[in-house]
């Protein structure tokens, strides 16, 4: 009888060890790539798409940037500037960028808000959506991802809505996350933004392409491994200015790729 209980205890011990090992592997992918008070972005394949070079806006152009907390900049540390404000500053006197970012915004909610947004006098709209649709926290949050078909359809309708009102549209992909698990949940929605851009003939700009150009002194994401830090917003805003007006900013020294960024580009 004693031998039976010994074997039973051994079996239970082995079962618990296997369970803990599996849990450890699952949790490993959730752990952010923390670095110096923030998180490094996981290397991500570019989803950028351009039919032709972007036109440098004429002086006085008004641009609306619509999206979630990436647009509002509400989650970065104090003292930082949202990327749209950095873009406006970099192209001083050429554009005015109005930020219409709401934390937690999904494509469907942004679509519902569209009729209430008076953008008379604006030349173009930049749409940055998809992060919340992806429910990137996974099992950590009680939230389900929006089906990709619904996400694509909403984004496509919004492009049509703004075009019908005479505005040009540019899409911004969601930034890559700061953990393997978050990045994996975001990637299908990043690809979906590119798919919609291709199907609609709309430019798609990818923050991942900006991130590989930025210095390594400060992390580009906050400690939550999801939102851009002040350095991330600065990086994206300056990179966007280069995409729109490279000749105008030819004297601006683009930062050399960081060691982490160089590895991301290579991988």
CA dist 42 and 186 (Å) reads: 11
Residues 163-176 have a mean pLDDT of 97
Contact assessment for residue 95 and residue 61, using Cβ atoms and an 8 Å cutoff: yes
Q: Minimum mean pLDDT among 24-28, 46-50, 64-68, 101-105: which range?
A: 24-28
Give the pLDDT confidence of 58-92 residue by residue, as tens digits: 999 999 999 999 999 988 888 899 999 999 999 98
> What are the CA-CA distances from residue 89 to residues 69, 181, 241 (Å)?
20, 35, 9
Within 10 angstroms of residue 30's Cβ, the number of other Cβ atoms is 15
Specify the pTM: 0.83
Rg (CA), the chain: 21
Query: Tokens 């959506």 identify what position?
Result: 129
> What are the CA-CA distances from residue 263 to residues 105, 174, 185, 222, 255 (Å)?
32, 21, 22, 20, 16
Give the pLDDT confidence of 118-142 residue by residue, as tens digits: 999 999 999 999 999 999 976 556 7
| Separation of first and last alpha carbons in the chain | 58
Q: Which domains does the chain have, with CATH numbers?
A: 31-266 (3.40.50.1110)
Q: What is the pLDDT of residue 232?
A: 95
Question: Would you call 263 helix, strand, or coil by DSSP?
Answer: helix
Residues 134-158 have a mean pLDDT of 89
Instruction: Enumerate the β-bridge partners of residue 34.
Output: 39
């Amino acid at each position: 009888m004693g031998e039976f209980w010994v074997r039973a205890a051994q079996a239970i011990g082995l079962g618990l060890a296997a369970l803990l090992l599996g849990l450890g592997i699952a949790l490993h992918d959730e752990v952010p790539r923390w670095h110096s008070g923030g998180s490094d972005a996981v290397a991500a394949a570019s989803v950028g798409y351009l039919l032709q070079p972007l036109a440098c806006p004429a002086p006085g152009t008004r641009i609306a940037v619509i999206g979630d907390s990436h647009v509002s900049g509400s989650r970065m540390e104090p003292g930082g500037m949202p990327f749209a404000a950095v873009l406006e500053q970099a192209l001083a006197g050429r554009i005015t960028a109005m930020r219409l970012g709401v934390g937690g915004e999904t494509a469907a909610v942004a679509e519902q808000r569209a009729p209430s947004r008076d953008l008379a006098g604006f030349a173009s709209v930049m749409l940055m959506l998809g992060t919340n649709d992806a429910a990137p926290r996974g099992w950590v949050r009680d939230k389900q991802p929006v089906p990709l078909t619904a996400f694509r359809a909403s984004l496509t309708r919004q492009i049509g809505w703004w075009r019908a009102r005479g505005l040009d549209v540019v899409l911004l992909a969601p930034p890559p996350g700061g953990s393997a698990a978050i990045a994996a949940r975001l990637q299908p929605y990043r690809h979906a933004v590119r798919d919609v851009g291709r199907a609609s003939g709309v430019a798609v700009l990818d923050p991942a392409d900006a991130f590989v150009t930025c210095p390594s002194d400060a992390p580009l994401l906050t400690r939550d491994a999801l939102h851009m830090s002040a350095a991330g917003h600065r990086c994206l805003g300056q990179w966007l200015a280069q995409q729109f007006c490279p000749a105008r900013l030819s004297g601006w020294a683009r930062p050399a790729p960081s060691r982490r960024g160089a590895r991301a580009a290579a991988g």
